[in-house]
Structure 1
Amino acid sequence: MFDNNNKYPSDSSSAQPLRNPVDAQTHRTARAYRLQRVREQLLAADCAAILLYDPVNIRYATDTSNMQVWTLHNFARYALVFASGPVILFEFHNCEHLHEGNELLDQIRPAINCSYFGAGSRISEKTLVWADDIAKVMQQYAGGKARLAVDKADLEGLDLLREHGLSLIEGHSLMEEARKIKSAEELALMRWTIQVCERGIQRMHDELRPGMSENQLWAWLHYENIRHGGEWIETRLLASGPRTNPWMQESSERVMQQGEIVCFDTDLIGPYGYCADISRAWTVGHVAPTAEQRKLYRLAHEQIQHNMDLLRPGLSHREFVQRAWDIPQPYLHNRYCCVVHGAGLADEYPALAHKGADWDSSGYDGVIEENMVLCVESYIGERGGKQGIKLEQQVLITRDGCQALSQYPWQDDWL
């Protein structure tokens, strides 16, 4: 597909889909590990159960997936996971068949939709029924005065659960703590997603030509993701030419011109729901970069490599940030929003703020641990400049430091 000498095939339009290397046992072991991680967090927090609405959290705990993006904004399915008891999925109308053979699930019940979309003017009535249903299940398996963690829910529903005598605690942080340490089997699933993502990156590279729009180029990443069993892409962060500065503009109908910079950030949710978060930059037409483009790229690459070299288990967030690469003053204003962030079934905890004012206002300490997956970020673009470079590398924290999970090559001849 590619090599480290940047010798790319001239055309990938006839490429056959990649073969999925993950066997069924690896998948089963990964999801059993994840459920155990959730239960360990519940026991440590003295919680009888956790109520999950975030579809990514539901996926992590139960390995079930159903209309993931739609259910991000519709309270149409949820799960109740007990620390010492059943795993109960409350599923959308007539969707029980989606989860045949999933050994993690002890029960599948119909969900009660408390969103305005589903309940309309009867929303308060439906919420009363929902709260009574949850309280009865909690009474059955944990007793009436149990502590229940909740990742997110309707405010009226939370008040009703308290009226039933349940003690509620914030649960999203428990899930983030559970998700941060990956098993070997999880990493196998993630590596497959990254391989799919890199096929999409390669396809974009091969299809990139002057005269095409940013949206046309971005569509190739979606194409390769979907045909390999991937799920969605969380953003559309691809920009060219003057739209690369400042960063965070999503792909548009802008027609790209020969020699312009094009940068992207994949934010791809691939097979098994895992995230591949990789950024690269090229010139349109794959022509030699200008001196300014080369300088921006070299600085961004230097920031990535410097910060990767620092990462190791046992290093505190604070120490890492204080030792991180110093962004030159002309590029400081347009810095990326964080130095590194976690990744798993999506972007995850932690997200480490830059040193100085950013750390003072929003930094938090913690410890980098073995088998965390982090994404090392860089954006280099001068305030008021006409172009910029966005790079990112996804890495695994190992006993000896960090290991790049993405093997997609840098533009070595630009360095």
Structure 2
Amino acid sequence: MSSTPFKDDRKRAYLNADGADKPLISPVPGDVLDRARAYRLSRLRREMAKHDVAALLLYDPVNIRYAFDCSNMPVWTAHNPIRHALILADGPAIMFEFAGCFHLSEGLPGIDEIRPSTAWFFMFSGDKAEGETAKWAAEIADLVRLHGGNNRRIAGDRLDPPGHTALLAQGCQISDGTEITEAARSIKSPDEIELMRWTLRVCEAGMARIYEHSIPGVTERELWAHLHFENARSGGEWLETKLLTCGPNTNPWYSECSDRPCKEGEMIAFDTDMIGPYGYCADLSRSWTCGYTAMTPAQADIYRTARDQIEHNTGLLWPGLSFEEFNAKSWRIPDRFIDRRYSLAIHGVGMADEWPCVSLHPDFNERSASGNFEAGMVVCVESLIGTESTECVKLETQVLITDSGIERLDTFPWERPLG
């Protein structure tokens, strides 16, 4: 830990009260997780019934985690489709796991059966891929025929072309399952919110570490590593991006962290995109100055503008509000900041960034998705403010929509722009 003292004791409080050398230990009772598991699987089955599909085929590791709370090398399996889940509308929920990994799924209450998976992608099967694909498709189709009767409709979230073709050859009808999974995931139960609160607690401890080490000479990568460290040691999963930059690297946004040392007085800006404990996402953004210096007038101007956007758009959220109504009432970005604007005003968040996504007002048009904010949704309210000649400030907060309004779930302090 750095010997440099915090300049803001409000942030120090987010480190472990028992000592920053210790990981955070979740206080969430086991029955909360059990109820969340049952709720999530029921949400998927409810959406399946709405779409009249016989089966839901899942390859996305985030969707598998949502359905079964089963996790196995999720980053690796995201690009190596070797494990999958099959949920039959009128039958069992089956986890297809690869060799040596059955123990990862055993005892999980949503899984009725564990079977060995068939690896039909080229990396594993090579010139035998066609035969392995046919074997895989026949097994899936047999299960659908057994439990679905005349209904041969399968919704899949991720399905490479050979698998799609092989299932069609088996007489199955294939549809996109992401509407089912995104709609199911969009409404959180109170137990999910409790799990999400703990992920946010871990994330904010990592943010406090970043703040503590925000001193001249530290590199962007060194700062980013503090969030990884806290997440990993406290039971989290991974970071989806590497968005922490300082000074000129903040503008334009989306540069990834580098070995550039931060200089005193420069703005440090980051976006956590953290998949934390229990598989939930903490997607928060903050900006502050290196060395805890008072902001310059230019920095204070863009910071206050970003806060205005966050506060205005957060205050609009209400259950039943349509995306079109939100856009019409949303904060209008001044012309001088248009060129450096962020692409989104709002997006959903759960086990990752999720539906819905509502564009910033200059980009909202007839192609934008329609819908309504609903109680139980958790959304992130975004802001990115800067001009061509300034640094950028990135801010983001995570908000629960309730029956009576909203609740901000993150509490990590904003800056005081005037020092």
CA-CA distance at 1:154 after TM superposition: 1.4
- How far apart, in 1, do the equivalents of 2:276 and 2:20 lie? 21
Distance in 1 between residues matched to 2:331 and 2:111, nearest whole Å: 46
Residue in 2 that maps onto 1:380 = 385
| SS of the residue 2:365 aligns to | helix
The 10-residue stretch of structure 1 (153-162 or 51-60) with the greater mean CA deviation from structure 2: 153-162
CA distance in 2, matches of 1:69, 1:183: 26
In the alignment, residue 91 of structure 1 is paired with which amino acid? E
Q: State the Cα distance separating 1:194 from its structure 2 match.
A: 0.3
1:81 is displaced (CA, Å) by 0.6
* Partners of 2:298 and 2:165 in 1: CA distance: 58
Q: Say if 1:3 and 1:409, in contact at 8 Å, map to a contact too.
A: no
- How does 1:275-294 map onto structure 2 within 5 Å? 275-294=281-300
> Which of residues 23, 26, 39 in structure 1 aligns to 2:32?
26
Q: List, as ranges, runs of 4+ consecutive aligned residues in structure 1 with deviation greater than 4 Å.
A: 2-5, 9-13
Q: 1:122 & 1:54 partners in 2: Cα distance?
A: 24
Other-structure match for 1:412? 416
- Residue 351 of structure 1 is matched in structure 2 by 357
Shift of 1:360: 1.7
Give 2:112's aligned amino acid.
D
TM-score between both structures, scaled by the size of structure 1: 0.96
Residue-by-residue CA offset, 1:91-126 (whole Å, 9 max, x unaligned): 122100112321111111111112211111221121
Give the 5 Å matches for 1:187-226.
187-226=193-232
Q: Percent identity of the aligned residues? A: 46
- Secondary structure at the residue paired with 2:229? helix
In structure 1, what residue type is equivalent to 2:315?
Answer: D
Match of 1:396 among 400, 405, 408: 400
Q: Give runs of aligned pairs for residues 18-167 of structure 1, distance below 5 A.
A: 18-143=24-149, 145-167=151-173
What amino acid sits opposite 1:211 in the alignment? G
Distance apart, 1:414 and its partner CA: 3.9
Q: 1:244·1:262 contact (CA, 8 Å) conserved in 2?
A: yes
Taking a change above 3 Å as real, the CA distance of residues 410 and 10 of structure 1, as seen in their structure-2 partners, is closer
Matched, 1:371 2:376: yes
Aligned-residue offset at 1:9? 6.7
Residue aligned with 2:252, SS: coil
After superposition, where does 1:251-270 map in structure 2 within 5 Å?
Answer: 251-270=257-276
- In structure 2, the residue matched to 1:235 is 241
Counterpart in 1 of 2:251? 245
Residue 138 of structure 1 and its aligned partner are, at CA, apart by: 1.3
Amino acid at match of 2:380: C
Q: How many residues align?
A: 412
Q: Which moved more, 1:34-43 or 1:96-105?
A: 96-105
**TM-score, with normalisation over the residues of structure 2?**
0.95
Q: Which runs of 5+ in 1 are unaligned?
A: none
RMSD of equivalent CA atoms: 1.8
| Alpha carbons 2:298, 2:390 under 8 Å: kept | no
Return the alpha-carbon distance in structure 1 between the equivalents of residues 122 and 260 of structure 2.
38
State the one-letter code of the partner of 1:375: C
Q: Which runs of 5 or more structure 2 residues have no equivalent in the other structure?
A: 1-5
